[in-house]
Structure 1
Amino acid sequence: MADLILHHYPNSPFSEKIRLILGYKKLAWKSVVIPALMPKPDVLALTGGYRKTPFMQVGADIFCDSALISDVLEHLQPTPSIYPEPGKGLARTLAQWADSSLFWAAMAHNLGPKGAAHMFAGGPPEAALAFSEDRKAMSAGMVRLRPADAAAAYKSYLRRLSDMLDDQPFLLGQVPCIADFSAYHPLWFTRVRTPVVADILQLTPAVLEWMDRMNAIGHGSMEKFDAARAIAAAAAEEPMVVGHGLLRDSTFQDEHGIPLGSRVTVTAESFGPEPTEGELIAATRTHYTLSRRDERAGTLHVHFPRIGYVLKAATPA
């Protein structure tokens, strides 16, 4: 199999989630550091429109969204599992809450005036403005918490996590699961990237101890790579055959009346409204796959999780 290439940047919280899962599974991976802000021409050459971080590349297959990447890594390396039985349904449900409600409360707190000033201290004023405008474009139409409301919700969520850690080292038992990795990354951002607002974590010592255990997992074996080589690697490979490789479910599940082979777009439900267009070659109970071609990267299969993404027939040119 081709190398695992993670396209990410150091400050990205969802990237930290995947970096830790790679470490937990003791996987070797190549690191392509991508821009935090648009424009991202090398990213779009591979994804066709999707610009959120991270995404993972395996040859000419591109896996978008940390939820799908987590599933792919589980297929690739089943042990240790991040979906241990018998509670994997609960773990997935808790992870989805953590990646949404917990994440947005934490980030609204983290990037309030005090945290934002710390992040951009020493940089030119236009850097903070560019970040603000970029994220505003990504969250068009979203209802965002104000910092004071976010702090109140964040404190409540931290207490709930603390209660789960009363008599066990991880959220659902003796070993970490997908819920731990999903709940950890927004708290990691608070602690590591905006420490000036991290006093909120001191209210829940059990959570801080759990964070230390998660941090100790590490990031596995990483090798620096660059975008040009990643694009060349995609061009040199053929995408995996649908139903084989890392996403083995190929049973067509039609919820839209859109047949396979149609030109479609896939877009995130909320954050990150940029569509990816291509030929629909898979629509299973868990994921969508589009085939598209790029003049630099060649023929690619771009994969999205079904939950959290919107499939539509492409508008004729």
Structure 2
Amino acid sequence: MSDPILPDIILHHYATSPFSEKLRLALGYKQLAWKSVIIPNIAPKPDLLELTGGYRRTPVLQIGADIYCDTALIFDVLEHLQPMPSLYPEPSKGMARTLAQWADSTLFWAAMAHNLGPKGAAHLFAGAPPEALKAFGDDRKAMSTGMLRLRPADALPAYRSYLRRLSDMLDDGPYLLGELPCVADFSAYHPLWFTRTRVPPMAGVLDATPAVLDWMDRMAAIGHCTMEKIRSADAIETAAQAQPVPVVDAPFQDDHGIPLGSRVTIAAESFGTEPTEGELVAATRMHYTLRRTGERVGTVHVHFPRIGYVLKQVETT
């Protein structure tokens, strides 16, 4: 029996995005070929928003006319497309998801507050005009309205402590939860990758944990599989020529008193809280799906995880 033909996987990302590196490595681990669309690292992002309807965090995964937001959900999509090797190996699946959530939030923000301190930012934007640094800072400030942001001096001791904890986890095996990498490894790796590869002047913090450095070498060796560059216009045309995968027998979990077919918005709880509006066509225990229409993209389904996102019904007048 021949292997099933997998659909084209389109990744909307940019090179220095930590969460994009998390996903690029997962594609490599799954040996899934993909197509690359490079998006701006700050607003405006008109072609991306044509697909998502508002969500502008990076990365976004596209398969035809289905648009997947947030790496927590995207990892589940990859697991469905290519079950082996698993990102959630037994018997530690629950621990892996919990550790990944911590790494994508608490560890990430401590690491990035350290990474983008004055010395790190100066290295990252070396040679760029001053207005580029200002534009980046203004963009991230707008995305983090209302968030408590660590100062570099407060972030550094926390980052050091978290690195020691990761090192302790590596005492008994090559990866955080055993002999094989899992979702927790990819989640913990990407902010450290930024420290090591994007802001080397800040990478001395890693030297006190050589076991973590060795683990990072193992993670980097996974690679990104094969990639083909395409234009954002090509991705939009792909969506316009496709139809979203029908929502069939998706169990409806109603926790809001909002029926399917309602006009709703979905937005991240924090950081990048721009809402996406559309028709609620699925609300399972794990994710939401909105149907929306764009002028150039036609009808698409935009998918979000439940955890970390807020669902609201659009008030009609």
Task: Please tell me whether residue 123 in structure 1 is matched to residue 113 in structure 2.
Answer: no
Report the Cα offset of residue 115 of structure 1: 0.3
> Which amino acid is the alignment partner of residue 10 of structure 1?
A
> Which amino acid is the alignment partner of residue 252 of structure 1?
F
Report the Cα offset of residue 2 of structure 1: 3.3
Q: Classify the secondary structure of the residue corresponding to 1:187.
A: helix
For residues 153 and 307 of structure 2, what CA distance do their matches in structure 1 show?
30
Aligned residues: 312
Report the Cα offset of residue 273 of structure 1: 1.1
Report the Cα offset of residue 158 of structure 1: 0.1
Residue matched to 1:309: 309
Q: Classify the secondary structure of the residue corresponding to 2:137.
A: helix
Deviations 1:151-201 (A, max 9, x none): 010000000000000121000000000000000000000000011000000
For residues 250 and 41 of structure 2, what CA distance do their matches in structure 1 show?
33
What is the RMSD of the two structures over their aligned residues, measured on CA atoms?
0.8
Unaligned runs of 5+ in 2: 1-5
Write out the 4+ residue segments of structure 1 that deviate beyond 4 Å after TM superposition: none
Q: Classify the secondary structure of the residue corresponding to 2:190.
A: helix
Residue matched to 1:281: 281
For residues 233 and 35 of structure 2, what CA distance do their matches in structure 1 show?
13
> Which amino acid is the alignment partner of residue 237 of structure 1?
A
Q: 2:57 aligns with which of 37, 52, 58?
A: 52
Report the Cα offset of residue 315 of structure 1: 3.1
Residue matched to 2:146: 141
1:224-303 equivalences under 5 Å are 224-243=229-248, 250-303=250-303
Residue matched to 2:164: 159
Task: Please tell me whether residue 85 in structure 1 is matched to residue 90 in structure 2.
Answer: yes
Report the Cα offset of residue 276 of structure 1: 0.1
Deviations 1:21-62 (A, max 9, x none): 000000010000000010010000000000000000000000
Q: Classify the secondary structure of the residue corresponding to 1:203.
A: coil
For residues 230 and 309 of structure 2, what CA distance do their matches in structure 1 show?
29
Percent of pairs with identical residues: 73
Q: Classify the secondary structure of the residue corresponding to 2:192.
A: helix
Report the Cα offset of residue 250 of structure 1: 1.2
Give the TM-score, by structure 1 length.
0.97
Task: Please tell me whether residue 8 in structure 1 is matched to residue 13 in structure 2.
Answer: yes
Deviations 1:4-37 (A, max 9, x none): 0000000000000000000000001000000001
For residues 39 and 283 of structure 1, what CA distance do their matches in structure 2 show?
30
Q: 1:187 aligns with which of 183, 187, 192?
A: 192
For residues 2 and 180 of structure 1, what CA distance do their matches in structure 2 show?
26
Unaligned runs of 5+ in 1: 244-248
Q: Classify the secondary structure of the residue corresponding to 2:207.
A: helix
Give the TM-score, by structure 2 length.
0.97
